[in-house]
Amino acid sequence: MLDSCNLCPRNCSVNRNNNEIGYCGASNQMVIAKAYLHMWEEPCISGNIGSGTIFFSYCNLRCIFCQNYSISTLHKGSIVSVNRLKEICLELQEKGALNINLVTPTHYVPLIVEALKLAKKEGLTIPIIYNTSSYENISTIKLLEGIVDVYLPDLKYYNDIYGIKYSNCHNYFKYTSSAIEEMYKQVGKCVFDNNGIIRKGVIVRHLMLPDNIEDSKNIINYLYNKYKDNIYISIMNQYTPLRKLKYDNLNKKVTDIEYDELINYAYDLGVRNAYIQEGETQKESFIPDFNNEGI
């Protein structure tokens, strides 16, 4: 598949096996920046033990406000083979990880699938979580059927103008909503174990951006009317400006007033299966130190 890469809607068609590089910048070798027990995901993912989270470097979306900028754009990390990724998954399971959480995996899907198949043959049994920006082709998601248990997709923008401004991509909502439909088709309604840890299903994340409440409301409205309580919605206020950006609204945090308005809107709409954030979440300390731990 990497001979003519069309894993995402950018459809670069480059031969990554022949040193050709597309928009994401990734080659035919995986680069990983960290693999560890991560405590700061949704409660049903991290629990009290931690999610076995693997952060992949490079990204096919590269939002200008990315909080993982050092790996998505600066490409911090180390080259990892398919066999080594298999070992990392098994090592995380041995450490007690509740799941394997693949962060920004789109551009490596064929390699990841190969590694997971090997890991499962050697005893990997914990759920696999696919943690994605969602800007990908349905054909890519179909490669994951029967392998991924939980989908954790972003739904960032409803109006295409924001996808163009902030992520240099056209038709973000069109492609993302279609990808999420395929995810839901594969895994269905959320299922939790007796400890409240998710075993199967879809949790859609929406990161609220400053001065962007109407677009956020449109996203919540779409998700609830489309899926009702068959999915969970994670409504996030943790946007943190890390560097000076050309759009003034992105150089500040989301206010409590904005966030409360969105939460109230969701509740009045009928949303009950949701995660919200309370307290101080807008800190750089919530961003991992990408130091090659676990690689």
Computed from CA positions of residues 259, 262, 268, 269, in that sequence, does the dihedral angle turn out positive or negative? negative
**Per-residue pLDDT tens over the stretch 239-249:** 999 889 999 99
**The predicted structure's pLDDT at residue 184:** 98
pLDDT surpassing 70 at residue 55: yes
**Region 74-88: what's the mean pLDDT?**
97
Cβ–Cβ < 8 Å for 153, 178: no
**The predicted structure's pLDDT at residue 237:** 95
pLDDT surpassing 60 at residue 285: no
Please report the domains of the chain, with CATH numbers, ordered by start residue. 31-286 (3.20.20.70)
**Per-residue pLDDT tens over the stretch 216-256:** 999 999 999 999 999 999 999 999 998 899 999 999 999 99
Cβ–Cβ < 8 Å for 70, 57: no
Give the pLDDT band of residue 278 (cuts 50, 70, 90): confident
Give the pLDDT band of residue 169 (cuts 50, 70, 90): very high
**Per-residue pLDDT tens over the stretch 107-158:** 999 999 999 999 999 999 999 999 999 999 999 999 999 999 999 999 999 9
- Buried b / exposed e over 160-181, threshold 16 CB at 10 Å, is eebbeebbebeebbebbbbbbe
Cβ–Cβ < 8 Å for 153, 179: yes
Cβ–Cβ < 8 Å for 191, 146: no
Report the phi/psi class of residue 181: left, alpha or beta, with left for phi > 0 and alpha for psi in -120 to 50: alpha
What is the number of H-type helices and E-type strands within the chain?
9, 10
Computed from CA positions of residues 53, 56, 62, 67, in that sequence, does the dihedral angle turn out positive or negative? positive
Report the phi/psi class of residue 219: left, alpha or beta, with left for phi > 0 and alpha for psi in -120 to 50: alpha
